[in-house]
Every structure is written in C-alpha cells, then in structure tokens.
C-alpha cells in the first residue's frame, strides 16, 4: 500500500507540474499556434480559393466577438473553417497575416477579419478587425507599434494595394463611424483592442498605389 501511495503521489505531482507549466506557458503556446495556423493559411492560399471564399457567407455580428482563448485556437488549427480572402503585411512592425471573411471565432483566431459584408479591396473603406494578444508578434498586436507614414499592404493575389498610415489613435468602442466609407477616399482601417479591452486602437491609411501581383511584390507577405 505504501508503494502504491508513493506511485499515486508521484502521478499527482506530475499532473500538478504539467498543469502548472501549461498555465505558465499558456500565452506563448497560444501565440505559437496562432502564428503557425496563420502561416499555413497564407502559404496554401490560391487565387481560386480567394474567388470561392468571396462567394461564401460571413458572420459580421460585432456582438458575438469574444476574447480569444486556447480552446478556440486549437479548434481553428484542426479545422479548415476560416474563409481566407487575401493577405495583409505591415513590414515596419513585421505584421503578416491572412485576411479572413467576417468576425467569427475561426476568422479572428486566424488573422484580420473583414468588418463589412460588401467591402472590396482597393475601394471605399476596407476595414479589418483583429485580436490583440500579449505576445507582440501575434495577430493585430503589432498595430500598437505602428507610426504615421509607414506603409501597409493588402493583396487578393491578383493585385497588391499599398496604403500610407495617416491616422492612429486610441478610440472608444462606440466609434464605429471609423469604418464607414468616406466620399472620394480609398482607406484601409485596422481595429484592435487597447487598454486591456476597454478601448480600441484604430490605424488608418490612404491608398497610394495599386499594382498587379507579381512574385516580387508578393514576397513581402511571406
């Protein structure tokens, strides 16, 4: 019985250690899974997939957006239920992510989610929302480090659209007017959490150039 008790005690201590390590490294593990999933989605994306995914429905209910958690990240990694429409890159802060249709949990666990059902790259106000994570390299966390004048790029693999950052502010969650179209302007608007989720970072840029996608200019998204 004493031997059995020692074995059970060892197993219990082992489980406690595993749980403790999981809790300690939860954020780094979660960030790694998110980055790995995003990279896979970008590497495997084709023009045909973009066209097909544009025809699919998306979830654009802002009220359903929840804080990202480990279980959703794992689920998204195992399933292929995020409809990727293209890619986004901000070289100055090393942000490279898929652009995904809608604001579903799968979309926001993968990359930047489109905020309006009818938006088109290079036209109107192309608005994306993304999660902020404590790891600065994951999802939209790098937006905090952007600066006015830096360049942002999006692509649907047919064209590459270049935007110059002209606006960066912390705004309240009710400032939904920032994603509205502005007459005569082609904008890229990026939204993520600020101040622990109380407010939002808004980074916005004006379209300065549109180019046909080539092997050379698509390299920045890799």
| DSSP β-bridge partners for residue 162 | 153, 209
| Annotated catalytic residue within 41, 96, 101, 131 | 131
Residue by residue, DSSP assigns 39-67 as HHHHHT--HHHHHHHHTS-----GGG---
Q: Is 188 exposed, middle or buried (CB count within 10 Å of its CB: 0-12, 13-18, 19+)? A: buried
User: Contact 194/170 with Cβ under 8 angstroms?
Assistant: yes
* 3-state SS, one letter per residue, for 5-46: HHHHHHHHHHHHHHHHHHHHCHHHHHHHHHHHHHHHHHHCCC
| Annotated catalytic residue within 42, 193, 194, 203 | 193
User: Contact 138/34 with Cβ under 8 angstroms?
Assistant: yes
Is there a catalytic annotation at residue 202?
Answer: no
Q: Which residues are catalytic?
A: 131, 193
């Amino acid at each position: 019985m004493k031997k059995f008790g020692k074995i059970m005690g060892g197993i219990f201590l082992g489980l406690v250690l595993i749980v403790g390590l999981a809790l300690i490294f939860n954020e780094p593990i979660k960030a790694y899974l998110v980055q790995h999933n995003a990279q896979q989605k970008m590497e495997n994306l084709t023009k045909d997939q973009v066209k097909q995914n544009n025809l699919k429905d998306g979830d654009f209910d802002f009220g359903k957006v929840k804080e990202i958690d480990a279980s959703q990240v794992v689920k998204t990694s195992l399933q292929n239920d995020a409809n990727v429409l293209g890619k986004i890159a901000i070289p100055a802060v090393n942000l490279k992510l898929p652009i995904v249709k809608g604001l579903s949990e799968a979309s926001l666990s993968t990359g930047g989610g489109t905020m309006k059902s009818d938006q088109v790259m290079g036209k109107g106000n192309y608005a994306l929302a993304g999660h902020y994570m404590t790891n600065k390299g994951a999802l939209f966390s790098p937006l905090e480090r952007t600066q006015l004048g830096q360049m942002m790029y999006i692509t649907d693999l047919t064209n590459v659209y270049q935007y110059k950052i002209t606006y960066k502010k912390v705004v309240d969650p009710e400032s939904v007017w920032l994603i509205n179209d502005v007459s005569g302007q082609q904008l890229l608007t990026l939204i993520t959490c600020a101040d622990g989720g109380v407010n939002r970072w808004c980074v916005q840029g004006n379209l300065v150039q549109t180019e046909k996608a080539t092997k050379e200019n698509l390299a920045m998204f890799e």
